[in-house]
């Protein structure tokens, strides 16, 4: 993340470059919601080095219910000039990311990721990453969802089939319009196509340097939701939207590049599966550590419904080359494209925290040259549990208890973050612990 030296001048030059007179400056919170202020250029520049923002962002839950005590006031924030990008919903506007720089700096998701990237740099590596998102488009407005009690949801393209050329043709205007919005927001796509299930799409983002890749992912979700809402629809990134809809994933593709020569440190065409010793140690770290830090990958109650038996999602931190049922899919088509793909997160992931988890766990394995002890899955099924592999947490409460008690989590991400984020996840679990679904009532009301 950029330092504060000459901040006003650097901001002015960056705004000149993209010709922005208005700036949407915001913080990505624990749910990866962008909490922003809209400022005119002059106001932003005049207050750049003394900027503050309400400190409540870290003190409430996803429903904006207060869960931590005050005082509630303002806290200093810092702007990351390198995060500036065009804002596609307003002429001559930009989006700019800020983060708390005072008492809460050590618990902010984007700063947690930045620290892991700095660790990689210190080991001699640059980080490159790209995200893939599946999402469901619903023929529902904000008003219709509420009038229906968020039940009996109507899907866009209800006749869609996986990779359907017919759906792509019929809804080409929707697809090309979204692609245009994303391009104007500096989110380059590798592909945008339909996927399995009614109203289901998949977007694969192009790889970028580490922090920018996570920023792209967070803004992709926000821009897609806004694009759909403008058209009287709703984009769902819930891991499991409900009965009749598929579970949807938010996958992270990641590689390390040698800072000395720019080459892909994961690639070795002479080694088994094309994976270097660096890649194998990194993968070993993921396998060993991810079960202990899973709330950073799945931070909603709903995220764990996607991991239920009978789904495509893996049930443990398995791995295999080119296998879409593995938790980590290794791919070594060419030296430059060699990467690890973490397929555990749902589309509701926090991109900064999930990538920090993958990177922190992998670097931990790399730092001590860990051996890859777990064999790749053989049968190709998502329910296969390789010998020696640890099962994933069954729900958010289970995951959070493991996370809170994990010395590894505290060593990798810091005491302050683990304590605060554990409380956030525990509160999220508690908020739904007494919720009773219509299906539960139907199943149990007349029993006995």
pLDDT at 55: 95
How far does CA 371 lie from the centroid of its chain? 28
How much is the pLDDT for 275? 97
Whether 384 has a pLDDT exceeding 90, the answer reads no
The tokens describing 95, both together, are: 């989006």
- The CATH number that domain 7-102 falls under is 3.10.20.70
Mention every residue, 6+ apart, whose C-beta is less than 8 A from residue 360: 116, 119, 289, 293, 412, 413
The pLDDT value recorded for residue 139 is 97
- State residue 3's pLDDT score: 53
Q: Using pLDDT thresholds of 50, 70 and 90, give the confidence band for residue 445.
A: confident
CB atoms within 10 A of CB 106: 15
- The mean pLDDT of 174-193, rounded to a whole number, is 98
Q: 64-68, 184-188, 198-202, 230-234 — which is least confidently predicted?
A: 64-68
Q: Is 275 exposed, middle or buried (0-12, 13-18, 19+ CB in 10 A)?
A: buried
Domain 116-443, classified CATH 1.10.10.60, yes or no: no
When comparing pLDDT for 51 and 384, which is higher?
51
Note the pLDDT tens digit of each residue in 73-83.
Answer: 999 999 999 99
Rounded to an integer, what distance in angstroms lies between the CA atom of residue 236 and that of residue 254?
25
Q: Is there a contact between 399 and 428 (Cβ–Cβ < 8 Å)?
A: no
**Does residue 443 have a pLDDT over 80?**
yes
Task: Report the mean per-residue pLDDT for the chain.
Answer: 94
What is the per-residue pLDDT across 3-36, written as a single tens digit (0 to 9) for each?
A: 556 999 999 999 999 999 999 999 999 999 999 9
Residue 352 CB contacts under 8 Å (≥ 6 apart), including other chains: 28, 32, 109, 110, 112, 113, 214, 218
DSSP assignments along 146-203, one per residue: HHTTT-SPPBSSTT--TT-HHHHHHTHHHHHHHHHHHHHTT--EEEEEE-SSTTEEEE
Domain residue spans of the chain: 7-102, 116-443
Is the confidence at residue 390, as pLDDT, over 90? no
Q: How far is CA 73 from the centre of its chain?
A: 28
For residue 375, the model assigns a pLDDT of 86
Averaged pLDDT, 171-179: 97
What's the pLDDT tens digit per position in 84-131? 999 999 999 999 999 999 999 999 999 999 999 999 999 999 999 999
Task: Give the pLDDT score at 76.
Answer: 97
């Amino acid at each position: 993340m950029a330092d504060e030296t000459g901040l006003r001048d650097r901001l002015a030059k960056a705004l000149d470059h993209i010709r922005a007179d208005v700036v949407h400056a915001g913080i990505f919170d624990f749910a990866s919601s962008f909490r922003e202020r809209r400022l005119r250029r002059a106001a932003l520049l005049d207050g750049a080095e003394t900027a503050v923002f309400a400190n409540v962002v870290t003190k409430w839950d996803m429903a904006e219910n207060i869960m931590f005590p005050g005082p509630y006031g303002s806290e200093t924030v810092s702007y990351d000039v390198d995060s500036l990008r065009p804002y596609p919903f307003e002429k001559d506007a930009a989006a700019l990311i800020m983060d708390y720089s005072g008492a809460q700096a050590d618990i902010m998701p984007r700063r947690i990721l930045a620290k892991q990237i700095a660790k990689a740099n210190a080991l001699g590596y640059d980080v490159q990453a790209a995200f893939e998102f599946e999402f469901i488009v619903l023929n529902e407005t904000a008003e219709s969802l509420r009038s229906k009690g968020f039940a009996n949801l109507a899907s866009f393209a209800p006749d869609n089939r996986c990779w359907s050329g017919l759906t792509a043709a019929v809804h080409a205007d929707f697809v090309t319009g979204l692609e245009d919005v994303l391009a104007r927001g500096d989110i380059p796509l590798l592909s945008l196509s339909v996927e399995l299930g009614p109203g289901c799409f998949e977007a694969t983002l192009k790889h970028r340097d580490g922090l920018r890749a996570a920023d792209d992912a967070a803004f992709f979700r926000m821009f897609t939701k806004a694009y759909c809402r403008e058209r009287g629809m709703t984009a769902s990134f819930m891991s499991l939207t409900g009965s009749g809809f598929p579970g949807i994933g938010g996958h992270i593709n990641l590689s390390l590049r040698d800072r000395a020569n720019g080459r892909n440190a994961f690639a070795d065409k002479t080694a088994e599966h094309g994976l270097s010793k660096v890649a194998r140690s990194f993968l070993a770290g993921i396998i060993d550590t991810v079960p202990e830090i899973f709330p950073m990958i799945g931070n909603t109650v709903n995220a764990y419904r996607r991991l239920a038996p009978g789904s495509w999602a893996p049930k443990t931190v398995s791995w295999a080359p080119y296998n879409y049922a593995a938790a980590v899919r290794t791919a070594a088509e060419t030296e430059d494209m060699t990467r690890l793909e973490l397929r555990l997160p749902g589309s509701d992931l926090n991109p900064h925290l999930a990538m920090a988890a993958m990177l922190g766990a992998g670097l931990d394995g790399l730092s001590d040259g860990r051996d890859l002890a777990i064999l790749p899955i053989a049968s190709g099924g998502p329910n296969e549990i390789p010998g020696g592999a640890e099962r994933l947490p069954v729900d958010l409460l289970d995951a959070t208890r493991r996370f809170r008690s994990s010395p590894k989590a505290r060593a990798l991400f810091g005491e302050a973050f683990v304590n605060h984020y554990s409380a956030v996840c525990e509160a999220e679990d508690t908020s739904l612990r007494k919720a009773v679904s219509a299906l539960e009532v139907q199943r149990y009301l007349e029993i006995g």
